[in-house]
Each structure stands twice: as C-alpha cells, then as structure tokens.
Structure 1
Amino acid sequence: MKFFKWTLLLFSYSVLSGACSSESNEPDIDETTISISAPSVSNVTEDRATIIATITTNTPSAILKKGICYDTQSNPTISNRTIEMSSAGLSLNLTITELEPETKYYAKAFATVANGNPVYSTEISFTTAARSITSELDKYIAPSYPDDYTSIADWSNRSQWNLANVHDPSIVLAEDGYYYMYQTDASYGNAHEYGGHFHCRRSKDLVNWEYMGGTMNSLPGWVIPKLNEIRKAMGLNEVQPAINTFGYWAPCVRKVRNGLYRMYYSIVCPGLLNGENTWGERAFIGMMENTDPANNGGWEDKGYVITNASDKELNFNVKPDDWTNCYYKWNAIDPSYIIDKDGKHYLVYGSWHSGIAALEVDAATGKPLNTLPKPWGTEEDIAPYGQLLVTRQIGNRWQASEGPEIIYNPNTGYYYLFMAYDALDVPYNTRVCRSQSILGPYLGIDGTDLTRFGGEMLPIVTHPYKFSNSNGWVGIAHCAIFDDGNGNWYYASQGRLPKDIPGINASNAVMMGHVRSIKWTSTGWPVVMPERYGAVPQLPITEDELTGSWEHIDLSYSYGKQKTSNTMTLSADHKVTDGSWKGATWNYDADNQRITFSNGVEVCLQREVDWEASPRTHTIVYAGYTNSKTYWGKKKK
C-alpha cells in the first residue's frame, strides 16, 4: 500500500481576551503528518457506490474535513462533488448516491487542515451499472387520489381537489415551469359558484395540481351594454338579465410571447331573441391578458372580440326546436387560439350550428385583424366573421360537434384540429383531422374532406370505455392539447363517471380532470393513451415484456356506449394466440416502441399507470388506428 506524506507547520497564537488588538508571541512549531491509503470501491450499482479509505496522522485534531471527492473527469478535487464523513475516526466508509447509470467516475479520498492545502489519495475509477428496469419501476409510487371525489367536492375542500371538478380544461406551460389549467364554470354540486369564474390550478409534474381560484371576479362590464347595443340595432328591446344567469364557458389560454399570456373566453347570454317561441340569445367571446399567470388576480380584461353571426338578416324568429335551421351560422363559443408557422394569429371557434370557423386576429391586440360588420345580414355580409374549417354535415345546423382545439406539430408539418362530438354527459368523444395549411382543407385519416364536403371525422381519439375492475369513464372530450417544449405532447379533458353508479349520488356529474400522453404513429397521426398520465418512468420497453395477456378494446364509434375489453394474448413466437385478432402475427419496433400486426394495425406503446389495479401500479398500454377503427389496450399483470 502506497502512502503520501504531507508536512504542515502549525503556528500557535495567544489572544488577549476582550482586547481590540493582539500581541503575537513566538510561534510553537509542530509537524503534522497525514497519509491516505489508496481507496477501494465496492457495491457499485446504477446510482451508487461505496468507497473505503484510511487516514493516518499523528495529529487527528488538526483535520477539519475528510471525505471523498468525485467527478466524471479525471483528477477530481474538493471543488468538484464531495461527500464528507462527519463522525469521528480516521476510517472512511462512504456511499456516494444519485449517480448516473452506465457512467465512469473518478474519485479520491481527501482531508483538510487549518491554513493548509488539502491532502488527496491516489485516484481510482469505477463505472456504474446499467439502469435496472426492475429497480427503477419498483420505486415508482402511483397517484393515490380517488376517482370518486364527492366527499371533497364542496368549496371548503378546494385545496384538496387536485384534478377534481375539472371541465373543458385549457393548459399552458408558463415561463416559471408551471403548467396552468383554466376551465369552464362547472363542478359537482356547482361548488365553483363561490369563487369567481374561469378557475385556475397549476402543476409542475402534471400529476399534483394546486388550486388557485377564479381569474375573473364578476361579469365584465362590457357584456350587457354590448348585448343591448346589438339588440337595439336589430330593433329589439333592451334587456337586463340577472348576473347569475350568464354562462362562463370554455376558456383558451396561450402564451403569446415571454411576458404575455392571452385568455379567450365565452360568455353565454340567457334568454330568447324576441320572446317566447323564438331562437335563443347570442354568446360573446372576450379576451383577457396577463404578464404572469402566477399572479392569478393579474388578468386584465380587454373586452369584446366577436359574437354570433347570422346569415338570416333580421328573420330571427326561428323556433327554438327548429334545430337544423338555427338562426345563427356561427356560434361564438369554444375559442381556440393559434400562432401559425408563419407568425399569423388566428382565433378558431364554434359549436354545433354550421361548423368551426377561423378568423385572423391582430398579433398586437388579439382582436380581429379587420373591422367586423354588424353580426347579421346575408352570407356575403357576414363573411368577415370567419372561414369554415370543418363541418359534420353541410346544410345542417344541428351538428353535434364543438370544442375545437388546434395545434401545429413542426415534426410532422401538419395542423391538427381536435373536436368534441355528441352530447357531453355520456356519449362525448374526441375526433381529430389534419391539414398542411392553417385554413384547410382538413382531411380525416380516411381521406374525407371535412372542409369542402363535411362528414364524420376520423380517427376517434377518445370514447366512453371500461377496463375490468372499474366503472370506466364516459364524457371524455372538449380537450386541450399541449406540449412540454421537448417534443412530448399531452391531451387533457374531463372524464365523467357513468350514470347510476351505486353509492354515488349523481355519479355522471363527477368530472375528473384527465391528462394523457400523446404518441405519434409512423404516418403522423396523434394517438392518445388509454390510461391517464401518472409520471411513470419511461424506461425502454423490451420485447419480452410484451408477451402475455392484454385487455384489448375496440374503441370504434358507438353512440353513448361504453366500450369494454376482451383478452388478447401475444406469444413469444410473435403470434396472437387468443382474442379478436387470434391467428395474426406481430413484430416489435423497439426504437419507436410500436407493434405492427399482420392484420394491418400499428399501435404505439407507453408505460403508464394501471389505474384499475389495487393497489395502483405501472403497466404498458397501447393505442392505434386503422382508417376506420381505433384500438386501446393494457397489459395485464
């Protein structure tokens, strides 16, 4: 064993107690010697290693600090990372933690004394083990909040809500690293009525959410005057609706640039246009701005943006049950906002009626780029109110589609328009289409031109479903689509419990916020994972993990029906040996985490929470499309 010797001259001084200056004496000179043995390393794992060394000295009391210094570069010193031994004694036995797997480290033992340079041992090196899937996943703790949150649903328990009482969420990633979520005024038992409007919560990890309260204290002062201004111009009487009868729906929040955030929101006016047996009153889209969403009270209202537009001139006495012949062409609710790849700003909006419209807005103000005419007239008169993007049925204003959400994915070069279909209580489901131009034409996965001819939008992204050992979820739509800036995309919406669950009063009014990961198919279509996001470690999925039994769901469209699972089994020799695809073969692309089946179906894989397990744990899920069908699956434990 080699030793290194170090000699230090120590000087002793006497200090006059209580004096402002001291008088030095002749120093006493002692020789202190320190030797440190070459370290040895043991118990090396993927994230830790134990290092042992021995210090030899004739003056133990002279040592101030002792320990191990280490780095990924050779010749570490105490200016790099260190771990110290605080206990007495000269034998070092220290475990370094939080190391990176499959990484080479260099380490030395050290000791320091007063007024002297540190003493080091010889250098050793070691390499940590490869990441262990088992150990990493075994450490994982799944979210524990209940799906039935009725016991904490009231306003007094709002600090415990997490993702309880969420409806029509909009999510933005802010400069401070938080995701901020805003929503429609809707909650179990109308708990939100006490706290203003367009409620906010935030999260750093998309799992744990902090409730922050309403962003708008009361009905904006411009709403009723604007309503009566339009009514007067239409020859209608002025109205003074009660403040608590207005609807506050579907905000959309976007970061415009550093230090500027915009929220477009819907205000739905109560009443009828011209008394009994006439069509309903209009809605407005307004806009607020904030420099920092952490300042939840800092939203400044910027006022009116747009309202419903009618191509029926002043023939507003359409009966309220004449659905297909509605008075309005465009319904001014459900805004979505996008800055396109060329830097132009667009407001995309609409619900039922004639479909979804796009309107260019001024980048500086967020208001319409061009002055809008009166919101009634001929079709040509109201053309400035927007250009049609998609419609479910040409010529039918009872569309059963709403809640547009538009994004651009630079990795695929497409704009994606997500839509909510059907009634929101149980049947609600999500669809998506895409276009290489912001203004279309938008095509479904089956090639249907939804801009020029209309039609059923495919693929289906979410749909009422049920895995075993659970009540499942329904009403999963009106989504937010957002990314983390690193290529990871997410889907968020409410999910409702089914109707008439024993022991839960009004169970279908339970609305839990769902956040789910999005993966992308080899042809550039987004698939939403069947289990909610739970921050499961995304370690590589190996082929041997895929063999065994899966819960498989054909998620294809069936109005209001909860799609249930059956068992599908994959064998190690790449065959499907049980289930609806029995007889097919399968191949795994480990680099992209996709399985391709011989029946033409490609599915994307992800590690996610098994929310139906007790206790909850992690599993592997899949989602995939054909041109007419959607499939979800979950690996059985």
Structure 2
Amino acid sequence: MRLKHLFNFSIGLTSVLLAACNTDDLQPTGIVTKPKTPSTEFTPPTYADDYASIASWGNRTSWNLANVHDPSVVYDGEYYYMYGTDASYGNEHVGHGHFHGRRSKDLVNWTYIGASMPATPTWVKDTLNNIRERAGLTPIDAPTFGHWAPVVRKVGDKYRMYYSIIVDNYIESGKTNTPANFDGSWTERAFIGLMETTSLKDNTWTDRGMVVSSATDRGTNWSRANLDDWSAYFKWNAIDPSYVVTPENEHWLVYGSWHSGIVALEINPTTGKPDKLETLTDHGVRIARRQNSDANRWQAQEGPEIIYNETTGFYYLFLAYDELSVAYNTRVCRSTNITGPWVGIDGKDITQGGDCWPMLTHPYKFNNHSGWVGISHCAVLQDEASGEWYYASQGRLPENTGGNTFSNAIMMGHIRHIRWTDDGWPVVMPERYAAVPQTAIVKNDLVGTWENITMEYQYKTLQTSTTLTLGADGKTTGAFTADWTYDETKKVLTIGDLKLCVERGLDWEASPRNITLIYSGLTANGRPVWGKKK
C-alpha cells in the first residue's frame, strides 16, 4: 500500500558551509540539448498560480503548467516535452487518455499536446489475472487502475517512456480499494511498463509491455490487520521509475516507493527490459531506504530521480520524502556506483537507512503569496549546450487558499534553476525559472533588504521568511549578523561562512511580477537557505 493510493485527486536547513557555488567549473553533460541566445528582452509570465478558473478540460489549451504532477522532461532537438501522473484539479483528465504531455521551447511557456496513452494496455489486466489465477484467486473483471509517474529518456534513436500502472483493488476479494470494501488484505500489485516512439512530436507510442511488477517475499500471506497497518505485503513497489545510462553503457531502472525502499534494476539496452524476473533478486537491489529495518515497510520516501554528473564523477539520487499533499520535500544523496553505497552530505549511508541530507525543497512561503506545499517528486535535466541544470516538480497550493476547500488539489508545474557548490552538491533556486536575462550582478546590487528563509525540516509546516539587510558597509542585520562579501565572477554571496549562489530571477509574488535578485545555498548540515531581494 502506498500513500498515493489514499489521496483523492478530485479534491483535489549551522552557518558553516561547504564551498562556493560555481557554474563555470561544473559543466557536466546531461540529457537534453538546447542552445540559448542571450537577450535582455524579457516579458514575465502572466498566468495565475491559482488556475481553478481555467481547470476544466475545455480550457486545456490555456493550462500551460497547470495540472502537472510527477513530471518527466526530455528534449528532442526543438522542444522540451513533459509528461506526468494522471492528476488534475477536479479530475478533468478522466476519460481522455493517460500520461498527458505538453511541450515548450523555453521551459517557461508550455502547450498541452494530449495523452500519450489512449487506453490502459490489455496486458495489464491479463498479466494481473494470470498471477491471481496461479495464486488461487478469482480474476478481477474491471480493475481500478491508477496511471502514475512516467520517465522519458532518449535511448539510441528512440524515446522510451517507462510508466507506472497501479491496481487499486484488494487482493483477497478483488474489490475496489475503499474503506467500506476492506477485506483484511492488501491492495494488488503495480506494474511498470514501456512505450517507445521515434517522434515525440507525433505523440504516437508503441507499447512494449511489462518491464517489472511489484514483488513480495510473503507468498500467499497477503493479510492486513487493519487500515492502520502499514507493513506492506509487497517488498518492492513497482512505481516511480527513473532511468540512467552509465559511461560504461550499463542501463539501469531505478524505482520504488515506501514499502522496503528504492530499487535499482539492470536493464538490457536492446529490449529495455530485465533479462529475467524469476526470483525476488531479479527484481533489483535496494539502494536507499529511510530506516535501517527490514521489518519496517513504511519508509516514507519515493519518487527517485537519478542522474550522472560527468565532471564530479558522481551519480545523484533525488528522493521525495513524506506524504505528497503538503509535507513533500526533496532530498539528495550521491554515489560513484549505481548500487551504492549512497551517501549524504553528512556522510551517512542512505543505502543502509541513513536519513538523507541535503534537503533541497520544503513547503515555504514568501510574503504576498499563499506559499507552496507538496514540492517534490522531481525531474532533473540539463541543457548540454549551456551546461545549466534544472529541477522540475509540482507545487500545490495550501489548503483553503482563497477560501477554496479544495485548493490543495491545485497542482502547478514548477521549474527551477539548479546551481552547484564547489563540493559538488546541487542547490535549487527559490523562485521558479522564467528565463530572466542574466546580466552582470555587482556588489552594490546586493545592498538592501531581502526576504530570507533558512529551512529546517518541519513536517507539514510552511517555512516563512524573515528580513535580512545587506549594508553598504559589508555588515548584515536581521536573519544573519555577520560580515558579507560578494564574488562577482562566481556570483557567490558570502555571509560569515555561508555561501549563497546569486542570480537574477523573477519575483513571482510581486504584483506585477518583476525581476529581482535571488540566492540559494546549503548550510554545513544540508539545510537550504533561500532568499530574494525586496
């Protein structure tokens, strides 16, 4: 059982830092290529964060980044394409296919292009019922499916989409998962499937069938004590795929959520599938878990995204922590091997259950806005031409925003620029990416009043800003009391021992929206520090 099964979409970080941020030295290769032409012309995006008034299916051409959840982004040489979980405010997507896509030339303005899967493939039901028959269970005539969290990568001359389909029916009776139908068993397995296409523009995909399904070590003991029992029948949960190709041309699918942790499964490059699935071991090796206990299958982490940074020589594993509607926050760890050990900024072994730091995003609120919650399950992509990296996820409005009881079901796509520390850790910028021209920033530009958020981990709590003043005398007051300096070449603000990456960004909370200065950094123990100039 996974928490997402329970959420009804219809309602819906000491001040000693590591090192400077450096975008000149760290230019790793990545997964997209998009040339950029410097320009000082700029028009801020005007779409509303609260898109309830245009949430209907008939307004889908106006959605832009509205109704985005668990995005994956890939570039085809002309457009960025984004696909995600079937989720929309008011469930407006229902009946219109699955894994809905949109595309953009600038990562700012997006056009809805339709579903990539017209209908659930017949192999899902057939495979499910074949497994049930072997277990002595009756078939499920009309399974309740959920379509979640695809990942799209270019492999050779094809694009592969690995997608998740969950079966939301109880194992014992086959009835749909509702409290009234609870029969003392767990819900059924999930599947990861594969589709391929040679043209994203055509949006026509060929389904290649099952890649892996949820796996158990409990045989036919699928009983669940009650709805508060979270010990999970399935050890590996076949959802939330991510994909990486190593420099040695090994292909790996990284997947999983909650249950017993995150799994890495080697894939045959030609078929896009594992060579065999005969034993539990064939389903992959655990690479991350939140608690060092084989008995604990409520790990509260999911949504793995894996990338390789060629310059640092590390793989980076981004993880979503906690429940998705409010508390969602993003963590990252790194390793020189896909199978680990994966290590956090504090040296803890995430493979063996260490708590993962740094934290990169957390529910937050700047002034003049309701704030954002549920910010995680990210995609991480790179523009190979410029070397710049980006973080994409959803953000949700807090409950009762604007008096709307269902505002937490408003899911806006967020894209943020990533900067890197000299020690090779990513930091995510506090304001959403808007293609603001990056003209020179000199020390005097930083003098003045800022909003600062130094984030600690607080479950389901928005981190709010306090005032920071950078004086012309090189002193700070407010959130920090220390001397400050600025490196114009690296665009790094130093306050005491804290290093903060500075750039121009959009003040999304201002009315009208306008260009301002923003910063992001990490404390020594891996808590993010975000700021924007007033």
Pair in the same fold by TM > 0.5 = yes
8 Å contact from structure 1 (residues 280, 320) kept in 2: no
Question: Aligned equivalents of 1:579 and 1:230: distance in 2?
Answer: 62
Question: Aligned equivalents of 2:502 and 2:348: distance in 1?
Answer: 27
Equivalent residue number for residue 475 of structure 1: 374
Question: Aligned equivalents of 1:579 and 1:311: distance in 2?
Answer: 55
User: 1:96-121, CA deviations, whole angstroms, 9 ceiling, x for partnerless residues?
Assistant: xxxxxxxxxxxxxxxxxxxxxxxxxx
Question: Aligned equivalents of 1:490 and 1:318: distance in 2?
Answer: 41
Equivalent residue number for residue 154 of structure 1: 56
Question: Aligned equivalents of 1:538 and 1:269: distance in 2?
Answer: 47
Give the 3 Å change call, closer, same or farther, for CA 575–631 of structure 1 in structure 2: farther
SS at match of 1:502: helix
8 Å contact from structure 2 (residues 521, 530) kept in 1: no
Give the 3 Å change call, closer, same or farther, for CA 206–256 of structure 1 in structure 2: same
1:501 correspondence with 2:401: yes
How far is 1:324 from its partner? 4.7
User: 1:573-598, CA deviations, whole angstroms, 9 ceiling, x for partnerless residues?
Assistant: 3221x11311x112222221112222
Question: Aligned equivalents of 1:196 and 1:158: distance in 2?
Answer: 14
User: 1:299-355, CA deviations, whole angstroms, 9 ceiling, x for partnerless residues?
Assistant: 100001101111112222233546452111100000001111211100100010010
Equivalent residue number for residue 520 of structure 2: 623
Equivalent residue number for residue 229 of structure 1: 130
Quick one: higher RCO (CA 8 Å, sep 6+), 1 or 2? 2
SS at match of 1:417: strand
1:490 correspondence with 2:390: yes
How far is 1:493 from its partner? 0.6
Q: Which amino acid aligns with 1:151?
A: S
Question: Aligned equivalents of 2:286 and 2:226: distance in 1?
Answer: 24
1:285 correspondence with 2:192: yes
8 Å contact from structure 1 (residues 556, 629) kept in 2: no
SS at match of 1:236: coil
Equivalent residue number for residue 273 of structure 1: 171
1:163 correspondence with 2:59: no
Equivalent residue number for residue 572 of structure 1: 472
User: 1:24-73, CA deviations, whole angstroms, 9 ceiling, x for partnerless residues?
Assistant: xxxxxxxxxxxxxxxxxxxxxxxxxxxxxxxxxxxxxxxxxxxxxxxxxx
Q: Which amino acid aligns with 1:254?
A: R
Equivalent residue number for residue 179 of structure 2: none
Equivalent residue number for residue 219 of structure 2: 313
How far is 1:629 from its partner? 4.4
Q: Which amino acid aligns with 1:170?
A: S
Q: Which amino acid aligns with 1:192?
A: H
Aligned with residue 518 of structure 1, among 415, 418, 441: 418
1:610 correspondence with 2:515: no
How far is 1:542 from its partner? 1.1
1:330 correspondence with 2:236: yes
8 Å contact from structure 1 (residues 544, 572) kept in 2: yes
Instruction: List aligned pairs for 1:4-83, cutoff 5 A.
Output: none
Q: Which amino acid aligns with 2:90?
A: G
User: 1:416-457, CA deviations, whole angstroms, 9 ceiling, x for partnerless residues?
Assistant: 000111111111111111111122111111111011x21221
Equivalent residue number for residue 149 of structure 2: 250
Question: Aligned equivalents of 1:606 and 1:323: distance in 2?
Answer: 47
8 Å contact from structure 2 (residues 394, 412) kept in 1: yes
Question: Aligned equivalents of 1:345 and 1:394: distance in 2?
Answer: 27
Q: Out of 392-401 and 561-570, give the one that drifted further.
A: 392-401
Instruction: List aligned pairs for 1:138-149, cutoff 5 A.
Output: 139-149=41-51
SS at match of 2:94: helix
Question: Aligned equivalents of 1:355 and 1:323: distance in 2?
Answer: 17
Equivalent residue number for residue 371 of structure 1: 276
How far is 1:505 from its partner? 4.6
Q: Which amino acid aligns with 1:221?
A: T
Question: Aligned equivalents of 2:154 and 2:355: distance in 1?
Answer: 32
Question: Aligned equivalents of 1:322 and 1:161: distance in 2?
Answer: 38
Question: Aligned equivalents of 2:487 and 2:225: distance in 1?
Answer: 57
8 Å contact from structure 1 (residues 529, 632) kept in 2: no
Q: Which amino acid aligns with 1:372?
A: L
| TM-score normalised by length of structure 2 | 0.89
SS at match of 2:93: helix
Q: Which runs of 4+ in 1 moved over 6 A?
A: none
Question: Aligned equivalents of 2:162 and 2:42: distance in 1?
Answer: 38
Q: Which amino acid aligns with 2:419?
A: K
How far is 1:194 from its partner? 3.4
8 Å contact from structure 1 (residues 279, 319) kept in 2: no
Question: Aligned equivalents of 2:530 and 2:344: distance in 1?
Answer: 23
SS at match of 2:132: helix
User: 1:230-279, CA deviations, whole angstroms, 9 ceiling, x for partnerless residues?
Assistant: 1122222222124xx2100000001112x300000001012111131111
Q: Which amino acid aligns with 2:277?
A: L
Question: Aligned equivalents of 1:364 and 1:239: distance in 2?
Answer: 33
User: 1:385-413, CA deviations, whole angstroms, 9 ceiling, x for partnerless residues?
Assistant: 11111100122111111000000011211
1:560 correspondence with 2:464: no
How far is 1:607 from its partner? 1.1
8 Å contact from structure 1 (residues 279, 320) kept in 2: no
Question: Aligned equivalents of 2:142 and 2:420: distance in 1?
Answer: 47
User: 1:157-185, CA deviations, whole angstroms, 9 ceiling, x for partnerless residues?
Assistant: 0000000111111000113x200000100
Equivalent residue number for residue 112 of structure 1: none
8 Å contact from structure 1 (residues 552, 631) kept in 2: no
Q: Which amino acid aligns with 2:184?
A: N
1:461 correspondence with 2:360: yes
8 Å contact from structure 1 (residues 405, 479) kept in 2: yes
Question: Aligned equivalents of 2:532 and 2:184: distance in 1?
Answer: 54
Percent identical pairs in the alignment equals 54
How far is 1:141 from its partner? 1.7
Question: Aligned equivalents of 1:268 and 1:438: distance in 2?
Answer: 26
Q: Out of 436-445 and 347-356, give the one that drifted further.
A: 436-445
Matched length: 486
8 Å contact from structure 1 (residues 335, 350) kept in 2: yes
Equivalent residue number for residue 386 of structure 1: 284
Q: Which amino acid aligns with 1:161?
A: W
Q: Which amino acid aligns with 2:377?
A: H
User: 1:593-618, CA deviations, whole angstroms, 9 ceiling, x for partnerless residues?
Assistant: 112222x3211112110001111011
Q: Out of 308-317 and 328-337, give the one that drifted further.
A: 308-317
Question: Aligned equivalents of 2:440 and 2:198: distance in 1?
Answer: 40
Equivalent residue number for residue 295 of structure 1: 202
How far is 1:636 from its partner? 2.8
Aligned CA-pair RMSD: 1.6
8 Å contact from structure 2 (residues 523, 529) kept in 1: no
8 Å contact from structure 1 (residues 459, 627) kept in 2: no
Equivalent residue number for residue 30 of structure 1: none
SS at match of 1:156: helix
SS at match of 1:232: helix
Q: Which amino acid aligns with 2:388?
A: N
Larger Rg: 1
SS at match of 1:633: strand
How far is 1:156 from its partner? 0.2
Aligned with residue 421 of structure 1, among 321, 337, 343: 321
Question: Aligned equivalents of 1:499 and 1:172: distance in 2?
Answer: 32
| TM-score normalised by length of structure 1 | 0.74
Question: Aligned equivalents of 1:631 and 1:184: distance in 2?
Answer: 27
1:405 correspondence with 2:305: yes
